[in-house]
């Protein structure tokens, strides 16, 4: 292994983003948060978009501060949420990217399925049906798509701004429903059949590949003369998070829990059976050619949106106090379908959850603590069921569940997941996405080692907390 390395991570989530710096060595993995900033949908006319210029400004300010604090930074890696993209032509972005929760996606689903049936689409891409998958968004673009030279997924868009090079990183490209999971290449037959111009699709790069050095204009904007490069990482945030899951045994499942709960297994080959399609499991690309065989469960979005609604009606809600009260509840609370499509959009979440609960014949909790307990119990049930289904479909035995991301801080969620799965849960690290991002960069710079070696370093430097099932 080489000496200690210094890198920076741009980690963009659907509700917030941050810029982190890291120092990495054979027995050292330390991160510092340099900047954190809000992110979320903005409405322009009748459509939801991302405020991409504000996000770009925050990223540049964060990188400028990072390079000022640590001039020895050698590399920058970028990860973000999946499926969304910008259209570019003549060196310019053609308007703000749409938000994946925008209603236009429904028209795209109809247009794609008129040409390629759901079963055919799954057989080609192994991707679970989500109405906001990139393939559906592109089909809903209309004439604007004809003006574009490329579509660039969000991390690729930022890499293009920094380096001037347009590429498509494989793990995030695998979420588009336009990549063949067996070859790891764009599915040219599907692209042609759907009528998309092949030139829209940028050359693919793998995690660890160098995208390029910063352009002179970027170096000037970041006030640095350092020789800094942008390195491809697992640019889908879940792909980066899975790198940092401290899995030290082969029978582990993982849950990357934040706005979404991504529940699954790491496999060598995709599982593209009819049973997997009917269970709505996906085969997404992972680092080192692995497959993330997983199911999307609506995650802590349900709780954060509920808190936002409560605060709009009656002042601040302290999350830690709310969870403490929820943990003390001993009477049964209703369990509802956390994946009910009515709970996917922003808005009055408590009202919509109450409607789902009432339709199931249960009494709606009367206190906020009981309501929160109902949400967390429902998430834990959904997580446990997804783990069991993944194991059955992949013909694997699961003996332990790792929870990483923000959900690892939620002790009640971790304990209830262990209870309902009847398996031990290992919680942490919280910063798995950023850790996976910087580890892939460090390996590309000479740290060396396999995924198992990287995970062993995480386990030594960020030991998880264990929850034993009580049921």
What would the pLDDT profile of 377-418 be if each residue is shown by its tens digit? Answer: 999 999 999 999 999 999 999 999 999 999 999 999 999 999
Query: Which two structure tokens, joined as six digits, stand for 244?
Result: 């940092």
Cα(260)–Cα(407) distance, integer angstroms: 10
- To the query of whether residue 274 is one of the catalytic residues in this protein, the response is no
Catalytic one among 11, 79, 102, 237? Answer: 237
Q: What does the mean pLDDT of the chain come to?
A: 96
pTM, 2 dp: 0.93
Q: What is the mean pLDDT of residues 106-125?
A: 96
Q: pLDDT of 210-252, one tens digit each?
A: 999 999 999 999 999 999 999 999 999 999 999 999 998 999 9
pLDDT for position 1? 42
Q: pLDDT of 323-369, one tens digit each?
A: 999 999 999 999 999 999 899 888 899 999 999 999 999 999 999 99
pLDDT over 90 (residue 448): no
pLDDT for position 40? 87
Q: What is the mean pLDDT of residues 82-102?
A: 96
């Amino acid at each position: 292994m080489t000496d200690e390395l210094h890198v920076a991570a741009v980690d963009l989530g659907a509700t917030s983003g941050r810029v982190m710096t890291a120092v990495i060595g054979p027995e050292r993995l330390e991160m510092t948060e340099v900047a954190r900033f809000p992110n979320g949908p903005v409405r322009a006319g009748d459509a939801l978009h991302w405020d991409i210029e504000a996000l770009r400004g925050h990223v540049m300010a964060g990188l400028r501060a990072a390079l000022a604090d640590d001039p020895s930074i050698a590399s920058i890696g970028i990860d973000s949420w999946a499926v969304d993209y910008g259209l570019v032509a003549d060196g310019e972005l053609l308007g703000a990217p749409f938000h994946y929760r925008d209603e236009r996606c429904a028209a795209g689903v109809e247009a794609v399925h008129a040409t390629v049936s759901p079963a055919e689409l799954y057989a080609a891409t192994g991707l679970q049906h989500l109405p906001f998958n990139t393939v559906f968004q592109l089909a809903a673009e209309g004439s604007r798509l004809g003006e574009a030279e490329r579509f660039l997924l969000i991390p690729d868009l930022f890499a293009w701004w920094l380096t001037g090079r347009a590429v498509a990183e494989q793990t995030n490209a695998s979420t588009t429903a336009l990549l063949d999971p067996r070859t790891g290449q764009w599915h040219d037959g599907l692209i042609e059949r759907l009528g998309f111009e092949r030139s829209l699709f940028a050359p693919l790069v793998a995690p660890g590949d160098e995208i390029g050095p910063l352009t002179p204009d970027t170096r000037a904007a970041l006030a640095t003369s350092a020789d800094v490069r942008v390195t491809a990482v697992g640019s889908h945030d879940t792909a980066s998070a899975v790198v940092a899951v401290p899995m030290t045994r082969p029978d582990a499942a993982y849950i990357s829990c934040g706005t979404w709960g991504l529940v699954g297994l790491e496999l060598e080959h995709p599982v593209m059976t009819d049973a997997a399609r009917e269970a709505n499991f996906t085969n997404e690309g992972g680092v080192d050619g692995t497959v993330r065989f997983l199911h999307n469960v609506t995650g802590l979005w349900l709780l954060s949106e509920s808190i936002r609604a409560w605060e709009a009606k009656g002042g601040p809600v302290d999350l830690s106090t709310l969870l403490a009260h929820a943990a003390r509840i001993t009477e049964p609370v209703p369990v509802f379908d956390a994946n009910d499509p009515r709970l996917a959009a922003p808005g009055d979440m408590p009202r919509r959850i109450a409607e789902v609960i009432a339709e199931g014949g249960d009494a709606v909790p009367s206190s906020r603590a009981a309501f929160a307990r109902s949400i967390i119990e429902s998430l834990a049930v959904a997580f446990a069921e997804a783990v069991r289904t993944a194991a059955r479909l992949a013909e694997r035995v699961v003996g332990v569940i790792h929870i990483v991301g923000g959900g690892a801080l939620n002790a009640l969620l971790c304990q209830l997941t262990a209870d309902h799965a009847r398996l031990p849960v290992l919680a942490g690290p919280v910063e798995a996405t950023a850790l996976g991002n910087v580890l892939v960069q460090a390996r590309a710079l000479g740290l060396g080692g396999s995924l198992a070696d990287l995970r062993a370093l995480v386990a030594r430097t960020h030991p998880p907390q264990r929850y034993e099932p009580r049921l």
